[in-house]
Amino acid sequence: MRFAEAVRVAWEALRANKLRSGLTMLGVVIGVASVVLLVSIGSGARNEVTSGVESLGSNILFVAPGNLSFGSAPAVSRLGLEDVRRIGDAIGDPRRVAATVASGEVARVGTRRATVNVQGTTDTVPLVFDRTVSRGAFFSAADVETRRRVAVLGADPADSLFPDRDPVGKSITVGGVRFRVVGVMGRVGTAFGVARDAELFIPVTAAQRLFGVSRVDGIAVKAPTTGQIGEEQAIIREVVTRAHPEQEYQVLTQQDILGVVGRILGILTLVLASIAGISLVVGGVGVMNIMLVSVSERTREIGLRKAVGARTRDVLRQFLLEAVALTVSGGVAGILVGIGAALLVGRLSPIPAAITGWSVALAFGVSVAVGVFFGVWPARKAARMQPIMALRYE
Amino acid sequence: MPQPPVVEGSGGLKGSPPVVEAVDVTKVYRLDGVEVRALDGVDLVVERGDSVAIMGPSGSGKSTLLGLLGGLDRPTSGTLRFDGRDVTGLSEDELAEVRNRVVGFVFQNFQLLARTPAVANVGLPLVYRGFGRAERRRLATAALAAVGLGHRLGHRPSQLSGGEQQRVAIARALVTEPAMLLADEPTGNLDSRSGEEVLELLARLHDERGVAVVVVTHDPGVAARFRRRVVLRDGRLAGDPDRDRESVT
pLDDT at B44: 94
CB A102 within 8 A of CB A149: no
Mean per-residue pLDDT for A348-367? Answer: 84
For residue B39, what are the contacts with CB-CB under 8 A and spacing of at least 6? B25, B26, B27, B61, B64, B65, B68, B75, B235
What's the whole-number mean pLDDT along residues A340-345? 90
- pLDDT, one tens digit per residue, over A78-132 is 888 889 999 999 988 889 999 999 888 999 998 899 999 999 999 998 988 888 8
pLDDT of A39: 87
Instruction: Classify residue A212 by burial, with Cβ atoms within 10 Å: 0-12, 13-18, 19+.
Output: exposed
> How sure is the predictor about A1, in pLDDT bands with cuts at 50, 70 and 90?
low
The Cα A128–Cα A201 span in angstroms is 14
ipTM, interface predicted TM-score of the complex: 0.88
Please tell me if residue B6 touches chain A, with a CB cutoff of 8 Å. no
Determine the residue of chain B that is closest to A13 in CA distance.
B115
> Over the stretch B85-115, which tens digit does the pLDDT of each residue have?
999 889 999 999 999 999 999 999 999 998 8
In angstroms, what separates the C-alpha of A300 from chain B's closest C-alpha? 8
DSSP label at residue B202: H
Q: What is the CA radius of gyration of chain A?
A: 32
**In the predicted structure, residue B11 carries a pLDDT above the cut 70:** no
Quick check: A308 and B130 CB within 8 A? no
Q: Would you call A307 an interface residue with chain B, using a CB distance cutoff of 8 Å?
A: yes
Radius of gyration of chain B from its Cα atoms, rounded to whole angstroms: 17
pLDDT of residue B10: 44
For an interface test with A, the pick among B64, B65, B69, B72 (most A C-beta atoms closer than 10 Å) comes out as: B72
Yes or no, beta carbons of A306 and B111 under 8 Å apart: no
Confidence band, pLDDT 50/70/90 cuts, at residue B218: confident
Q: Which residue of A has its CA nearest to B176?
A: A308
Helix, strand, or coil (residue A152): strand
Over residues B204-231, mean pLDDT: 92
Q: Which of A362, A369, A379 is nearest to A281 (CA)?
A: A369
For the segment A331-337, the average pLDDT, to the nearest whole number, is 94
- Alpha-helical (H) ranges within A92-166 are 125-128, 141-145, 155-161
Please tell me if residue A301 touches chain B, with a CB cutoff of 8 Å: yes
Q: In this predicted model, what pLDDT tens digit does every residue of B147-170 receive, in sequence order?
A: 999 999 999 999 999 999 999 999
- Which residues of B fall within a CB distance of 8 Å from A312? 92-93, 96
Please state, rounded to an integer, the average pLDDT across all residues of chain A: 88
Could you give all domains of chain B from N- to C-terminal order, each with its CATH number?
Answer: 20-237 (3.40.50.300)
Helix (H, G, I), strand (E, B) or coil at A252: strand
Q: Are B98 and B82 in contact (CB under 8 A)?
A: yes
CA distance linking residue A87 with residue B204, whole number of Å = 108
How many CB atoms are closer than 10 A to CB A350? 10
Instruction: Tell me what the mean pLDDT of segment A346-365 comes to.
Output: 84
Give, for B43, the enclosing helix (H) or strand (E). Answer: strand B34-46
User: What are the two backbone dihedrals, phi and then psi, of residue A133, each rounded to the nearest 5 degrees?
Assistant: -110, 125
Q: What is the pLDDT of residue B247?
A: 44
Q: Is it the case that residue A73 has pLDDT exceeding 90?
A: no
Residue B72 touches chain A, beta carbons under 8 Å: yes
CB contact under 8 A, A308 and B97: no
Q: Is B107 close to A391, i.e. CB distance below 8 A?
A: yes
Centroid of chain to Cα A17: 42
Q: How far apart are CA B64 and CA A389, in angstroms?
A: 10
Mean residue pLDDT of chain B comes to: 88
Strands of B124-198, DSSP E: 180-184
Are A307 and B72 within 8 A, CB to CB?
A: yes
Q: What is the pLDDT of residues A151-191, one digit of tens each?
A: 999 999 999 999 888 999 999 999 889 999 999 998 887 65
Helix, strand, or coil (residue A107): strand
Q: Which residues of chain A does B135 touch, with a Cβ-Cβ cutoff of 8 Å?
A: none
pLDDT of residue B96: 94
Residues 50-69 of A with CB under 8 A from B: none
With CA atoms as reference, report the closest residue to A61 among A256, A241, A259, A261: A256
pTM of the model: 0.74
Residue A61 has pLDDT above 70, yes or no: yes
Distance CA A267, CA A283 (A): 24
**Contacts of residue A354, Cβ cutoff 8 Å, sequence gap at least 6:** A40, A43, A44, A46, A47
Partner residues linked to A209 by β-bridges: none
% chain B with pLDDT above 70: 90
For residue A138, the SS3 value is coil
Nearest to A303 by CA among B124, B18, B56: B124
Closest by CA to B68, choosing from B51, B86, B55, is B86
